[in-house]
Amino acid sequence: MMKRISCDGTNEENLIKKVNLVERNPTPSGLALVSPLRVGKHDTADLVALAREIAHADDALKNRASGKLSVILEQIRFLQQQAAKIIEETEESKKLHDVACNFQKIPGNTYHLYRRESGQKYLSMLSPEEWAGNIKHDFLGSFRLEHDRSWTPQEHIADEDVKRMWAQRLLTQGAGKVLEIEHVD
Asked if 146 and 159 touch (Cβ cutoff 8 Å), the reply is no
Q: How confident is the model at residue 5 (pLDDT cuts 50, 70, 90)?
A: very low
Which of the two residues, 108 and 27, has the higher pLDDT score? 108
The pTM assigned to this predicted structure is 0.60
Q: Residues near 41 by Cβ (< 8 Å), separated by ≥ 6? A: none
The b/e string for 1-12 (b: 16+ C-beta within 10 A; e otherwise) is eeeeeeeeeeeb
Picking from 40-44, 83-87, 130-134, 138-142, which range would have the lowest pLDDT averaged per residue? 40-44
Q: How confident is the model at residue 171 (pLDDT cuts 50, 70, 90)?
A: confident
Residue 142 has pLDDT above 90, yes or no: yes
Residue 113's alpha-carbon distances to 12, 69, 100, 116, in angstroms, are 77, 46, 10, 10
- Average pLDDT estimate for 42-67: 83
pLDDT confidence of residue 48: 76
Listed by start position, the domains of the chain span: 8-18+33-98, 99-185
